[in-house]
Structure 1
Amino acid sequence: MKKFLETIKNIWSIEDLRARIITTLGLLLVYRLGSYVVLPGVDSTMLEAANANNSGGGLLDLINIFAGGAFSRASIFALGIMPYISASIVIQLLGMAIPYFQRLQKEGESGRRKINQITRFLTIIITAFQAPGYIASQITTHQGVVPNDGPMWWFSTVLLLITGTMFVMWIGERITEKGIGNGISLLIMIGIVANLPSAFVFEIASRFGIGGVGGPIVLLIEVALLLFVVVLSILLVQGTRRIPVQYAKRIVGNKQYGGVRQYIPLKVNAAGVMPIIFAQAIMFIPLTLAGFGEGGVTSWFVTTFSNPNSFAYNLTFALMIIAFTYFYTAVTVNPNQMADEMKRNGGFVPGIKPGKKTAEFIDNVMSRITLPGSIFLALVAILPAFAMLGGVNQAFAYFYGGTSLLIMVGVILDTLQQIESHLLMRHYDGLMKTGKIKGRSSTGMGMAG
């Protein structure tokens, strides 16, 4: 405890780090307060009553978790940062296939600014398409929620939702630039964490309240299992396979360069949380099709794949995550480029010929470690369904795995890494006794920033 208090004192004594932390907390507070500002013309009391009578389904609850509750409250931040995430994913995919975006990625800072500008414009377009759909499906569909829903109200509400999303994006960028951690990832995480206290209170009430089942023993077991899953998720995030690389000796003047052994850390989960996001986006399609077709095969398909607890949903979800993990890893990790850079710098893997043989070796290693990594990622993604089957309430079960847990673990570890870097740079002890937190190099579990 004394060590912890001393670390907090060291953090607060660094002026730059203190200013960054205060800026981050202030901007996150603005985001949370904005999530409670209801759109003009919406009767919040009627909307709350309508939401209470209509559970909305598991997928809508999942969307609401990412928005920190703003989605169900019809807030000005109802669409949150997700349109920006969607735009970033689109730009990232375009960078894999279109030469123009590939050139921008190689142009350094100027190319990055152009990509950010394009991403912002694409965010506006995506939000402009999502906003009317959100209004029609979640607000005006309830009687009495909007007393006067004329054309002017529609126009102003769509404009407000677009403005809200752009303001949230601006908050995320300011946190990244002036604060601590990755701003976009922190906004997603704070929205997820905001639901944890109420979900835990509901779980306690279900165990100790009137008609409660299980009592304190079951609650303690649930908390212990949650901590165990968190530890496993940390292992998944930090797990690496180190490939030794030997560099040839070079003598320049009176100095010797190279001749040392270094390591290439290949992450077990190089794709981060992106496979779950891609798979989840596709699993939202049945919810979109819910309004089309009645009865027969269409009705069975929509009913089955709109239920996150069904066997078919979770099996399909897990297989898609495994496939997307291989796809995203193949796109982000380029063995040929790694082999060429090693050869150019006089490095080689012991026992492996430089060049093509090294690329094949790295590719084989990545294929082997990606399989268990993808399977484990799929298991973590479907754990909430098992938790709900075990009697855990739906809100609390979402923290047992899936995108929520992985994003929280990745963002928290990355933020701690940045804080520790500030401490070590000024010759303070790190957050851990060893003075170094190992295994963390990804930013926000691959989330776009």
Structure 2
Amino acid sequence: MDIKKPYELYKRIGFSLLILIIYLMGRSILLYGVSSDMGPTAGTIQSIVATMLSGDRYQRTIMALGIMPYINASLLVQVISSLKNANSRTKISKQKQDRWMLITAIIFTIFMALMQSANLTYQSSAGPVFWVRLFVTIELMGGAMVTYFLCKTNEKHGIGASMPIILLNVLTALATNMNIYHFYSYPILAMISVAIMVGTLYLENSFIKVPLQRVSIHNIHADQNYIAYKRNPVGIMPVMFATSVFIILRYFIRFLTYLLPTSQVLAHLRQNMLMTKPLGIGIYLIIIFTLSIVFSFIMLNPAESARQLQHNGDSIIGIYAGEKTKQYLVKIVLKWSIISGLIQAGCMSITLILAMHHAIPTPLALIPSSGMILVSIICSLVQEIENYYRYDAYRFFM
């Protein structure tokens, strides 16, 4: 008997398209009373970073915070969860984890909305600045929470959770900057970008296979069992999150300068915490490298993998189960996370240094990171689409 199935892939793609339409509609709603004059940071790397995460070039719409509260909350919750032992993690329900993430996102949203509203200029005809700024802060918070719920809803019913929105924002920023700043007039930048994208594509689809011996399998396919680790363990997550962490650090330093306006150290940090200054570039690259290692251990969790292998009676060929297996897996994850972090930070440093020495326009310095994010997201979306396609192709037999 043939069982008719709904086409899951088509439904999910359609739902994700609907999410993008709603998001684009939100991006067209301007903040009340905000001046159309470009602020002092327009055209800088910081504004380009913000555009990559929100799609709002001049930060004048209710979606100006973009997905930054969502991804920062996601990062923090994952870090906190990884610090708990295996037994504690199993006791945390999905509803409880979602509640933690929502609370964290709200905290990030309030902080970022206050800082962003302080950085805008307002029309004198809009009313008293205090009340206009308060209203704009509420608008920014509302837009960020709408984006949060769009991402969470797409995670459940669509394709790629927050990735379609990130992809849309990156494509918008990329197309705008390439057109305004004449990207093709800088062949060296084009060659660097292509090389980085090709390298990212290779790393995203290249695996290390750690062979396993499984006591429960005794057939001709037994030697085909293995643990697979990508050579780029956590993809482009370090670069993507590093931009957000960098912005949060800038917001925090700016907030501290309001509290301690006479501090020369904070004033120096605020002036030099830019991606056009050696200090800012160094901090940004250190964030990328650090997040590459941290994310690799959070996402892959070699200690937990070793515990599960021992619990199931399996082992790595030539390695004793237990502590030896844990040490072996930790070395693999550490090795490739360091290599991946150095490659990503090194690729980013090239164009940032070129921009610092005025060899290329400053807003084009993040073109390589945009390319890496695009390649990584497209690879992830293609893999997810393939999974749903195979699911739809499956036929039940009675």
| TM-score computed with the length of structure 1 as normaliser | 0.74
Matched, 1:377 2:359: no
Alignment CA distance shift 1:196-1:400 (3 Å): same
Q: Given the alignment, which residue of 164, 172, 185 partners 1:194?
A: 172
Residue in structure 2 matched with residue 75 of structure 1 by the alignment: 61
Residue in structure 2 matched with residue 19 of structure 1 by the alignment: 11
Counterpart Cα distance in 2 of 1:355 and 1:98: 20
Residue in structure 2 matched with residue 136 of structure 1 by the alignment: 118
Residue in structure 1 matched with residue 48 of structure 2 by the alignment: 61
Secondary structure of the 2:232 match is: coil
What is the deviation of 1:67?
A: 0.9
Task: Confirm or deny: 8 A CA contact 1:249 1:259 kept in the other structure.
Answer: no
Counterpart Cα distance in 1 of 2:265 and 2:146: 43
What is the deviation of 1:152?
A: 5.0
Residue in structure 2 matched with residue 393 of structure 1 by the alignment: 361
Counterpart Cα distance in 1 of 2:222 and 2:10: 41
Alignment CA distance shift 1:319-1:248 (3 Å): same
Task: Confirm or deny: 8 A CA contact 2:212 2:225 kept in the other structure.
Answer: yes
Q: Given the alignment, which residue of 46, 64, 79 partners 1:93?
A: 79
Amino acid across the alignment from 1:48? S
Aligned pair count reads 383
Secondary structure of the 2:37 match is: helix
Residue in structure 2 matched with residue 28 of structure 1 by the alignment: 20
Alignment CA distance shift 1:135-1:371 (3 Å): closer
Higher relative contact order (CA 8 A, sep 6+): 2
Task: Confirm or deny: 8 A CA contact 1:242 1:264 kept in the other structure.
Answer: yes
Identity %, equivalent residues: 19
Counterpart Cα distance in 2 of 1:412 and 1:264: 24
Q: How does 1:153-172 map to 2 (within 5 A)?
A: 153-172=132-151
What is the deviation of 1:375?
A: 0.7
Task: Confirm or deny: 8 A CA contact 1:249 1:257 kept in the other structure.
Answer: no
Deviations 1:359-391 (A, max 9, x none): 222222223222212211211333441453473
What is the deviation of 1:346?
A: 2.9
What is the deviation of 1:63?
A: 1.7
Deviations 1:271-305 (A, max 9, x none): 44444425525652555556665796554443333
Residue in structure 2 matched with residue 237 of structure 1 by the alignment: 204
What is the deviation of 1:233?
A: 1.7
Task: Confirm or deny: 8 A CA contact 1:36 1:73 kept in the other structure.
Answer: no
Residue in structure 2 matched with residue 348 of structure 1 by the alignment: 315
Task: Confirm or deny: 8 A CA contact 2:78 2:298 kept in the other structure.
Answer: no
Amino acid across the alignment from 2:56? G
Matched, 1:117 2:81: no
Secondary structure of the 2:228 match is: strand
Gaps of 5+ in 1: 1-13, 208-214, 429-449
Alignment CA distance shift 1:169-1:132 (3 Å): same
Counterpart Cα distance in 2 of 1:281 and 1:236: 27
What is the deviation of 1:115?
A: 1.2
What is the deviation of 1:244?
A: 0.8
Counterpart Cα distance in 1 of 2:192 and 2:83: 43
What is the deviation of 1:259?
A: 4.0
Counterpart Cα distance in 2 of 1:34 and 1:238: 35
Counterpart Cα distance in 2 of 1:62 and 1:250: 50
Matched, 1:48 2:30: no
Task: Confirm or deny: 8 A CA contact 1:95 1:102 kept in the other structure.
Answer: no
What is the deviation of 1:112?
A: 0.8
Alignment CA distance shift 1:89-1:259 (3 Å): closer
Gaps of 5+ in 2: 1-5
Structure showing greater Rg: 1
